[in-house]
Amino acid sequence: MENDTDALIAAATAVRKKAHAPYSNFKVGAALRSTTGTIHTGCNVENVAYPEGTCAEAGAIAAMIAAGDTEIAELAVIAAGAEPVTPCGGCRQKIKEFAGPDVVVTMATTEGTQFSMTVAELLPGAFGKGHMGS
């Protein structure tokens, strides 16, 4: 039977096919379940002006916020590669904005390899609101 993580990987797999990645040819899909139980998805959207491209995780987070949800319960990201793709540094910070330290992020390949880490493991020593206290 499909579990919660399998459902996220299935959603990430589906949205990955829509990625706009003509420059890297590296399509990425991300899916997150918010604390309301809704799944939000995103894919990478590259641009001829390379730095303007956006990651799959950023797209999924934008979709979540646009839908009115604000908290990530679980997230999965998938790409085709020898090893599961891990979120870039910027995306780790973006995920942290909306996820607690124990939220599980599952990284997967289209061939079926996967592993999971918590947000705290992905971004140790994260910059947070507490650092701005006066």
Q: Rule CB under 6 A: which residues touch ligand THU? A: 21, 24, 26, 28, 44, 46, 53, 55-57, 77, 85, 87-88, 91
Question: How far apart are alpha carbons 43 and 65 in whole angstroms?
Answer: 15
Q: Which amino acid is at 111?
A: E
Q: Looking at beta carbons only, is 56 or 108 nearer to ligand THU?
A: 56
The answer to whether 39 and 7 are in contact (CB under 8 A) is: yes
Q: Looking at beta carbons only, is 26 or 127 nearer to ligand THU?
A: 26
Q: How far is the CB of 47 from ligand THU (least distance, A)?
A: 9
Q: How far is the CB of 134 from ligand THU (least distance, A)?
A: 34
Q: Looking at beta carbons only, is 57 or 69 nearer to ligand THU?
A: 57
Q: Order of strands across the sheet with 114-118?
A: 39-43, 28-34, 72-79, 104-109, 114-118
57 included as an active-site residue: yes
Q: Which two tokens stand for residue 93?
A: 């910070």
Q: How far is the CB of 86 from ligand THU (least distance, A)?
A: 6
Q: Which two tokens stand for residue 80?
A: 């085709």
Catalytic residue numbers, as ranges: 57
